[in-house]
Chains A and B, each alone.
Chain A
Amino acid sequence: MAITNLPKPPKIHRIPQPKFIDAIRWLSSPSPFQKSFITSLYDSDFHTPSLEIHSLDPSKTLTTALFSWTPPSRISSLKSTPSLFAASTFLGSLHIFKTPEEMSVLGNDMSDLGSKTSDMEPVVSVVGREFHVGSVGGVDLMEGGSECVSVGEDGRVNLVDERGDFRRVFDGNGLVSYSAVKWASPSEFVTGGCGFGLQWWDHRKSGAAVAQFKGNWDHGTTSGIIHSIDIHPSRKHTCLAGGSSGTVFAWDLRRQQEPIILSSIGSSDTMTHPLSESEVWEVQYDCYTKSLNSNISSSRILPAMICSEDGILAVIGQGEEPTELLAEPCAINSFDIDCQNPSDVICSLEWESIVILSRP
C-alpha cells in the first residue's frame, strides 16, 4: 500500500508486557514529557485482571506502573476524559475513577510516586443484577460532564451520575444487544449492536430510540457487529462506526438511510477497496491527518483511524487511499490517539505488547 501523505514513517516503539492487554487509553498529563496511560490487563498465569496507570519515560521504551486496582472481572470497555475514566467489566459492573491529575488537585501529593505502585479506588462503582446482566458492551463518559452511559449484551441502556445512582433509559430484555456507545451531545448518544444497527437516543425521551439506522446491506455477507463508534465534536450529526468484515461507515442523521461507506468488502466502488477484511475493533477521528481535499464541506467525512484483527492500523478518508501506519502479524485490539498531542498513538497488540507511534 502506498504511503501517500506521510513524508516520513512514524517512529515506532514496542514495549512488551507480561500480561494480555484488554484495553488502553492515554491519560491527559500536565507536561508533554511525562506521559501516562491507563491500561486494563489480564494475567493469564494467575487468572487475575487488573487496571493500571503507567507512566511512560521520555524515551518511550519503558513503562512504570504507578497505580493499580483489581476489578471483579476482566474489563470489557475503557474510556477516559481529562478528569475521569470509566471501566466496565464482563460481569456487568461499572467503575469510575478520578484521573491522577485530578487526584493531585484534591490534595494528594504526586511527587513521591514513581518507585512503587500504589492502590487506587474507584469514586463510583455500580454493581448488581439490577444494573446489567452479563457483559457490559460499552461505556462512554460525557466530555466535561460527569454522566456515564453504559450499554450491554442484555439490551439495557443505563445512565450513571457522579453519585453512583443510575437511571434506566431502556431495557431491551435481551431482545437486542448493544456493543458500543458514544455521546453526541449532553443529552444525546448513539448506540451500536448486531446487524450493523445504530440507534440515536435522547435521554430526555426514554422508552425508545429517536432514530434507527438499519443499512440495506444487500451484499449478503456484510452484516455484522458494530465494535466502536466515534462522533466528531464539530459534526454532531454524523456518526462514524466500525465493525465486522472490515466495515467502516458513517451515518449522517440528515440522510438517514444511506450509509457513507469508507471501507467494506463487497463494495463495488474502486475508491473504497477494503483495507481489511476482518473485525475493525476501534475507530476514532484522527485530527492529526489533514484531508487531501481542501474543500472540507460539512457533509464530508473527516479522516479516521482504525485498527483491525488482521493487524492493521491505518488512517482512512472519504474517497482517498488509506494510509497504513502499522501492519502487525497479530491483531491490534485497541488504540488511542492522544488528544493533547495527536501525533502520538498508543495501541495494544494481541501478543502482549504495546506499540507507541510518534508521527512526524
Chain B
Amino acid sequence: MPDVAADSAASASGGALVPFVPDTEIAVVYPLHHGLKPPITRVSISWARGNNLRVSLLRNPPYNSDSDGEIGGKVVEVNLDSGAADVREPVQWRRIAYGSVTPFALLQSRKNSASSLSKLQSSPSPFHLDWWEHVMEYSKDIKELLGNPKSNYDPLIEDPKEVLKKGEEPTSLKAAWELMEMFYADKLCQSWLPERLVDWLADYDCLLSGDQPTVHSKLVEFQGTLVTLQVIEDDPKYWEVISSALAIGWLEIVVKLLRLHGSYQLDQLGHRETENGLVETVAVLISMMPRFRPELKNGKLGECFEAKPDFMKAWEKWREQITKLDSSAFWVPCHHRQTREGLKNLIQIMLGNTKILCTATAHWIELYISHFLFIRPFTAGLEGMYNLAQKCVQMKPMSSPHKLLQLIIGIIGENTEVVLAECSRGFGPWMVAHAIELLTARSDQADILLHKEHDDIGGISMEELHRLVYAQVLTSHFLTWQIAPVYLTSCMKQGMSLLEFLLYRQPAQHNQLLLKNLEICRLYELDHVSSNIMKIAGVYHWKHGRKGLGVFWLQQARDEFLLNKIARHLFDSVGKSISSESFKQWEGLIELLGSESKPAGSLEFLHKYRDFKKSLQQACDKKTLDAARHAADSLMSLMKNPSTPQRFWLPLLYDSLTLLTWSGRPLLNVSQTNLLLNKLQELSMASVRPGFVATDLPAEALNSVRLALATNLGRAILEEQ
C-alpha cells in the first residue's frame, strides 16, 4: 500500500523533535603515521582509551621467504580532539585540568559548609547574599588558568605606528568563561552589562575572524600596509578602518590613527590649518565620549559616569557639541575631500546613524556593540538585549555560526539548556562541569533546573550528569585519573559507586601506583575497596613469583582465607623438610610474618618453626639444660598447634631426636610424651589414606622416633614416681 508507506515516511520525519542536521561540512582529516610500505590489505578500527581510536593496519603476509624485511603491520592510536579548538595540546588541557581541581574543591567545601550552616539556622541564611562573591573568587582562579602564558611582553620603546597592541594571546575558552562570568556570577557589572560586552569584544574580536572579516582583521591588515603609505589620508582604507574602530568603541585606536593624519606634520601645518583643526576637534570629541560605566581601564578613553542622570546630562551635551560641529562653517574651507568625508562619516557614527554603523561593522556582534555605544546606551534587561541581538543578526546574517556568538545568544535568550548545550558542544566537558557553578551563582531558576533529579538518567541531576561526564574524561587518561575522585565525590547519587569502579580498574602491578590508589581509598574512607585492591595485588604478585610481596599484601588485606590457601602451596616449595641451609632464604619472609598484629593464617607455622630451629640449634651448641628445655617447649607448642601441617610432624620429631634422648634427665613429662606418641599414631593411620604426603626421611626415621619417645616415656615415668 503506497499510501501507508508515504504516510509513515512523513510521520517519521515530521515526528522528530529536533531536526537532525549532520555536520557534513565539518569533515576532519586525521593523518596516520604508520610508516608501512603501501599494499595495506586490512584496516580495523576500534575505540581505545578515552577519545582515541585504535587503527590496526595489516599488510599481506609475505609469500616467499626472501621478503622485503618489512614488518607485517602496525597499530596506531589517533586522538580525536574535543573541546575548544585553540587548546589543542593535550599538555595544555591537562594543565587546565590540574589547576582547576583546587578552586573546584574549595568551592564545593564552602558550599557544603554553607548549606550545613543554613540547615542549623533554619532562617534564610546570610550566605545567599554573598555566595556570588565566593563564586567570583573561584572564577578568578579559573580564569588565571585559561590565559595563555606564552606571550605578554612589553616593548621598551613604543612604536608610534603600532596601532594594535599585542597582549596575551586570547583563547576562546577564556572568552566563553568571561561571558558566563559577567552574565551569571558578577553581580557588580549587572548595571553596565552593555559596556562590559564592549570590553569583552575588545579582547576577543580577533577570535571571531574566521571566514568573515572583523574589525580586528581589518586593522591587522591595515597595520601591515601602514609603513608603506606615503599620504595616509588619501587612502580610503584609512578612513574605513577609523570608522570601523570607532563603531565598536576602540577610541584610543581611533585617536591614535587620527593623529597620524598628514596635517599634523610640521611642514604641512601652515597650509592645512583648518583641516588640522577639524581632525583634532573630532579626536578630542571622541576622547571625551561619555561612558555609562563605573571605571575604565588604564589607557582607555572616555569619561565615566556611574549615575544615570549624570550620564544623561553629559551625553546630551556631547551630542549637542557634535551636532554643532557637524553644521559648522569650517567644513567649507577644508579642501581635502577624503578628510572631509571621512570626518563627516565619524560624526554620523557618533550621532548613531544606523546605516553608517551597519557599513562600518562586519559581524553582527560588532553592529550590536555599536548600537550599545551610539544608539541605545541605556539598554537594560536581557529581554531588550535579546531583541536587539535578533535585529542585528537579521541585518548581518552569519554564514556559519561561531560558537562564541551562539553562546551569547543562548545567554541573553535566557535559555539555560541552550547555554549548557553550547558550552558542551563548543568547549567540551571541562567547560560544562566548571561553568555550572557560574550558572547557579545567582539564579534560582537555573539552580532548580540543574538540580532537578531526572528519572530517565538514573535519578541524577543535570549538574551531576555533567560532572560525571567530565570525570569520565579524566579517568580515560592515566595521568589525570587521580583527580577524577574530586569530581566523583561531589556527585551525590552515582559518584561513589563509580569511584569504586574506577579504583578497581587501576592496574596493580607497580607498588607505587598501587599505593597512590590506596591513598585515595584512605582519603575517601573506602576501606572495603582498599582491602580488595590489596587482595588483587597480593594474588598478582604471588602468581608472578614474588611470594614475599604477595604475602605482604594479603596480610595487609587481612585475608586469612587466601593466606591459608597459599600456605599449602608454600609448604610444598619449602620442601618436605626444611634444612637449615635453605632457611636463610626464608628469613626475610618469616620476618614479615613475625608481626603479631597481622594475621598470617597457617603461615604462622613458618615463624614458629624458625624459632624452634633456632632454639634447637642453641641447645645443640650450648648443651645446657635451659636451652634444651626451651627447645622442648617450642617443640611442644608446635606439635600442639593445630596450624602445624601434618606432613611436618615426623620431620619435626626426627629433628628433635637429641631432645628426646637428652642425657641427664628427660625433657618431656609423661603427658607430653603421650601426646607426641598419639600424634605419631595418628600419622601412621593417615599414611594409609589416599593423599598422604610422604616425607623423604630415611626409612628408619619413624622407628627411631618411636624408640626415642618410648625411652623418654620410660624415663619420665621413673622420674615422676
Contact = CB atoms under 8 A, between A and B. Distances in A.
A225 B91 CA distance: 33
B588 to A, nearest CB: 3
A174 B587 contact: no
Interface string B299-318: 00000000000000000000
Interface in B538-591: 541, 544-549, 552, 555-556, 584-589, 591
B591 A351 contact: no
B546 A154 contact: yes
Contacts of A135: 510
B594 A310 contact: no
A310 B515 CA distance: 12
Contacts of A218: 596-597
Contacts of B522: 277-278
B479 A195 contact: no
A197 B591 contact: yes
B597 A223 contact: yes
A58 interface: no
Interface in A184-213: 193-195, 197, 199, 207-209, 212
A279 B548 contact: no
Q: Which of B95, B477, B519 has the most CB of A within 10 A?
A: B519
A342 B4 CA distance: 87
Contacts of A177: 541, 546, 548-549, 552
A175 B596 contact: no
Given A16-B95, A278-B519, A329 B548 contact: no
Contacts, number: 111
B548 A175 contact: yes
Interface string A147-173: 000000111000000000000000111
B588 A193 contact: yes
B552 A195 contact: yes
A33 interface: no
A155 B595 contact: no
A172 B588 contact: yes
Given A195-B552, A197-B588, A279-B519, A20 B479 contact: yes
B482 interface: yes
Interface residues of A, number: 49
B549 A153 contact: yes
A131 interface: no
A352 B478 CA distance: 12
A134 B546 contact: yes
Identify whether the interface residues of B are mostly helix, strand, loop, or mixed: helix
Nearest to B574: A175
Contacts of B585: 171-173, 175
B161 interface: no
Contacts of A18: 91
A153 B546 contact: yes
B501 interface: no
Contact of A175 (B555, B589, B598): B589
A45 interface: yes
B555 to A, nearest CB: 8
A199 to B, nearest CB: 8
A208 B584 CA distance: 7
B692 interface: no
A134 B587 contact: no
Contacts of A330: 98, 482
Interface string A319-345: 000000000011100000000000000
B90 interface: yes
A192 to B, nearest CB: 11
B362 interface: no
B479 A352 contact: yes
Given A18-B91, A90-B510, A174 B584 contact: no
Nearest to A277: B522
B94 interface: yes
Interface in A214-267: 214, 216-220, 223, 225, 244
A291 B544 CA distance: 46
A298 interface: no
Contact of B547 (A171, A175, A309, A350): A175
A41 to B, nearest CB: 12
B147 to A, nearest CB: 14
Nearest to A196: B595
B592 A194 contact: yes
B710 interface: no
Nearest to B106: A329
A179 interface: yes
B595 A217 contact: yes
Interface string A116-145: 000000000000000001110000000000
Contacts of B588: 155, 172, 175-176, 193, 197, 199
A212 B556 contact: no
Given A195-B592, A208-B587, A223 B556 contact: yes
A162 B478 CA distance: 37
A333 to B, nearest CB: 8
A352 B548 contact: no
B102 interface: yes
A44 interface: yes
B598 A223 contact: yes
A279 B517 CA distance: 11
B595 A172 contact: no
Q: Which of A16, A171, A179, A216 has the most CB of B within 10 A?
A: A16
Interface in A79-109: 90
B478 A44 contact: yes
Candidate in A18, A134, A154, A172 with the most chain B CB atoms within 10 angstroms: A172
B589 A176 contact: yes
Contacts of B107: none
A195 B95 CA distance: 37
B535 to A, nearest CB: 16
Contacts of B614: none
Given A134-B544, A175-B548, A214 B591 contact: yes
A154 B545 CA distance: 8
A209 B586 CA distance: 12
A194 B98 contact: no
Nearest to B478: A44
Contacts of B555: 223
A44 B555 CA distance: 33
A214 B519 contact: no
Interface in B469-491: 477-479, 482
Given A44-B479, A331-B516, 10 more contacts: A175-B586, A176-B588, A176-B589, A177-B549, A194-B548, A194-B549, A207-B584, A223-B598, A225-B552, A329-B101
5 contacts: A197-B592, A208-B587, A217-B597, A223-B597, A279-B516
